[in-house]
Amino acid sequence: MTRVRGEEQPGFLEVMESWLVHQPWFPARRGRRSLTRVGGLRLPTPAGDSDPQLFLEMHIFDVDHVASRRERHRDRVAVPVAVRSRPSALAGKNAFIGRLTAAHGDEVWLYDGARDRAFLAAWLEMARRRQGSRNGRSRGEAYGGFDQWAPFTVQLRRTASESKLRPVTRTMITPEGVAEDARLDQRVVVEFQRRPHAERGVELDTALTLTDAHATSISQVLGIVSCSWEDRAAALADGGEETWITGDLAIIRDATGQAPDGRSLAKRAMTEGKTFKRLARQMGLALGTFHADLAGAFGAHPQTRDQLREMSGNAKAALGEQWEQVREEFDDDERTDMSEVIDVMRSQLREVDEPMMLQRVHGGLGLAHAHQAGGDEERWIFNEDGGMSDHALPLRDVVTMLMSFANLVMEVASEDPAAGKTSEAGPVNLGQWYEDVSEVFLEGYRQSDADVTAIDSVFFRAAMLAEALELFSRWQGQWVFRPSMLLQAES
């Protein structure tokens, strides 16, 4: 059997370019474009595929864009490819890249390996078995007991799961023999990095460390496949000598991150006039567990006096600036009450002298980052999309989560004036719904192993009020604030 190498076939780069320009993760730039293959790897074909002429390849391309003499760009993309001698249902029509005539005269069909069952089985096995290439330029790694999973076959089932935030392609895999209604931690998600980099991001570093620590607050990392490619810019600087760099091409995690997210669940509860208190309490407890896991894995340390003073000054400034932007939208009595509250808070901020603990947190954690992973305890997990922040106060995540609830309430109220008006128990007040959710969320957080000093501080109250005033401005003054939290205005 003659080995077919995709890049050696006439028209291969042209077919690839025609397909690439229609992919949402491909860098769309103006001007002339050219592709250069700078690396990749070949995978062994798994047993069970009906195509005897199947070849599995990963290609890494440099994409050079020339808009003018002065404007040039170079991007890098990675494309897993299944090279087949005939159309295949194991890949599917949505994965079809193109067809070309090979050098030996026969036609071959190219499919996106991120959706091809045979490619996915071989890729998962590379990580599960910790396989590497002979030249040492590619390697699979297994974590969290993934090497003990049953082997993957072409009989696996796959479900597309695109990312809207990053240039990746996600595919959820249900192994052969696992029921469709099985727990998500019995399935895996393969996340192909379409724009690979040599540097490993802080999000993956965080997830790997928490996986090693057996943390239950995240989707576990199960495997990574990495590969080396030629750095053409470095080679040119070194006088033409080959220079290779290594980066991650795919991350494999358990599928708990594909569970329903908190935003969807909370919105449905609101629109149906149902309580969310039980789930909010569990979410608060899970967030505290997440913070405790981060503190245990990465450490925590108290602020210096200078950091405390700087934070106090920033909190006072933020509160004052937000109040100045909206104060004229309050009536006289409300303006007087709120001014008194803010004056008291600013005075308390000046007098704070007890440093708080800094650690790694998400910082911008919202309801969309929380997923109800299921199981007997209805466990919540959090994803790291959007980045992690070192040397920060955990209260940042608590504030952004509570304000995520508040913003969702405003969205629901604005989209459907009848939303949340009635339930089996009678009329539902969305402002009271939010108050109840906030209360039990904080109760759950306090029940965790996290340091709760910060959320009992004036910094937490000041941050909540500043964010609430900003929300008031964003929604054109549709809410009235009281010193405790937000309450829906009576129209």
**Residue 443 neighbours by CB distance under 10 Å:** 14
pLDDT the model gives residue 444: 96
Burial of 92-116, coded b for 16+ CB within 10 Å and e otherwise, reads: beebbbbebebeeeeebbbbbbbbb
pLDDT the model gives residue 250: 97
pLDDT the model gives residue 32: 87
Phi, psi (deg, nearest 5) at residue 378 = 50, 55
d(CA 39, CA 236): 17
215, 295: one domain: no
Among 452, 443, 482, CA closest to 464: 482
266, 358: one domain: yes
Residue 152 lies in a domain: yes
Q: Residue 200 corresponds to which tokens in the numbers above?
A: 């490993």
Residue 29 lies in a domain: yes
The DSSP line for 210-276 is HHHTT-SSSPPEEEEEEEEEE-HHHHHHTTT---EEEEEEEEEEEGGGGSPBHHHHHHHHHHTT---
198, 333: one domain: no
209, 326: one domain: no
- CATH number for the domain harbouring residue 482: 3.90.1200
Domain termination residue (choose one: 205, 229, 258): 258
383, 413: one domain: yes
Q: Residue 14 corresponds to which tokens in the numbers above?
A: 């042209």
298, 399: one domain: yes
Q: Is the C-alpha dihedral spanning 103, 104, 107, 111 positive or negative? A: negative
With H, G, I as helix, E, B as strand and everything else as coil, classify residue 159.
strand
Q: pLDDT of 164-188, one tens digit each?
A: 668 999 999 999 999 888 888 899 9
368, 428: one domain: yes
192, 303: one domain: no
Q: Which amino acid is at 449?
A: D
CB contact set of 27 (below 8 Å; sequence gap of 6+) = 63, 65, 73, 75, 77, 195
**pLDDT tens per residue, the chain (491 residues)?**
566 688 878 899 999 999 999 999 998 888 888 999 999 999 999 998 888 889 999 999 999 988 887 888 889 999 999 999 888 876 667 789 999 987 777 888 999 999 999 999 999 999 999 999 888 899 999 999 999 999 999 999 999 877 766 899 999 999 999 988 888 889 999 999 999 999 898 999 999 999 999 999 999 999 999 999 998 877 676 666 788 999 999 999 999 999 999 999 999 998 888 889 999 999 999 999 999 999 999 999 999 999 999 999 999 999 999 899 888 887 788 788 888 888 999 999 999 888 999 999 998 899 999 999 876 557 899 998 888 999 999 999 999 999 999 889 888 887 765 554 544 444 457 778 888 899 999 999 999 999 999 899 999 999 998 988 888 878 766 653 443 343 333 32
Beta bridge partners of 244: 230
307, 222: one domain: no
Residue 483 lies in a domain: yes
Among 197, 177, 198, CA closest to 187: 177
pLDDT the model gives residue 490: 30
pLDDT the model gives residue 486: 37
Among 350, 453, 435, 443, CA closest to 394: 453
Q: Which amino acid is at 412?
A: V
Which of left, alpha, beta for 214 (phi over 0: left; psi -120 to 50: alpha)?
A: left
Give the count of domains, the chain. 2
Phi, psi (deg, nearest 5) at residue 231 = -95, 95
Phi, psi (deg, nearest 5) at residue 165 = -100, -30
Own/partner pairs, 322-330, CB within 8 angstroms, 24+ separation: 322/466, 322/469, 322/470, 322/473, 323/469, 325/469, 325/473, 326/469, 326/472, 326/473, 326/477, 329/472, 329/473, 329/477, 330/480
d(CA 82, CA 4): 11
Domain termination residue (choose one: 233, 258, 283): 258
pLDDT the model gives residue 331: 79
50, 158: one domain: yes
271, 419: one domain: yes
pLDDT the model gives residue 90: 65
Residue in the structure block whose two tokens are 């503190």: 295
pLDDT the model gives residue 484: 39
Residue 1 lies in a domain: no
Q: Could you list the residue range(s) of the whole structural domain that residue 148 is in? A: 6-258
359, 475: one domain: yes
Domain termination residue (choose one: 258, 275, 308): 258
Residue 447 lies in a domain: yes
d(CA 231, CA 93): 34
